[in-house]
Amino acid sequence: MSNDLSHIHRFVPGNRREATPLLLLHGTGGDESDLLPLGEAIAPGAALLSPRGQVLEHGMPRFFRRLAEGVFDEDDVRRRANELGDFVTEARKRYGLKAPIALGYSNGANIAAAMMLLRPEALAGGILLRAMVPLRDAPVADLAGKPVLIVSGQSDPIIPPSNSQRLAVMLTKAGGDVQHRTLPVGHQLSQADLTIAKEWLGNIEAMNQTAA
């Protein structure tokens, strides 16, 4: 664990320099260790950068404030997304990384979506697990073909499928290459999430190697 940059975080160097790094963004109550096993399973050998959210809600770390479940403090969303973008810039210089793909779950997926809208240059793409629209009045972003995977739960009690679909449309209109999958599950992650994300990321890496 390191706290000498703007966010407390963990960094796992990985052993595949050609692999795109992952920016791991935990859900409410998680921390910088929470998604390391998922990141290692989805992208074996990739470098992993995992910050801790800087907001506390009843003692539980989050990446931004909310006013109620599903109701965000959008001023804070903007502030925290920009701060996280700055952290990514710092960490890339410190660790010698190329732009990462964000792998976020729930609150982490929402801040990743906000980063894609506010700081698209900070990320190479996103894997957004149980994400919803982070900003009602989102700026016009230029995602320029960046790959995005959104995986939703059909019976998610927190995020209506229509909200995730709006996010997919929003990111597509911004130029993202978006795939949206809906699973017959709730808000919790499943083995299917891991399988889909790993296959998607493998296809992205194969295309990148072909282009190179």
> Sorting pLDDT into bands at 50, 70 and 90, what band is 2?
low
Residues 127-138 have pLDDT tens digits of 999 999 999 888
pLDDT for 207 equals 86
Q: Which residues contact 28 (CB under 8 A, 6 or more apart)?
A: 57, 60, 61, 62, 106, 107
Residues 172-194 have pLDDT tens digits of 999 999 999 999 999 999 999 99
> Mind listing the domains of the chain with CATH numbers?
9-211 (3.40.50.1820)
Residues 82-111 have pLDDT tens digits of 999 999 999 999 999 999 999 999 999 999
What pTM did the predictor assign?
Answer: 0.96
pLDDT of 29 > 90? The answer is yes
Contact 46, 36 (CB under 8 A): no
Between 167 and 4, where is the model more confident?
167
pLDDT of 154 > 80? The answer is yes
The angle formed by the CA atoms of residues 194, 108 and 191, to the nearest 5 degrees, is 15
Radius of gyration of the chain (CA): 16
Catalytic positions: 106, 156, 187
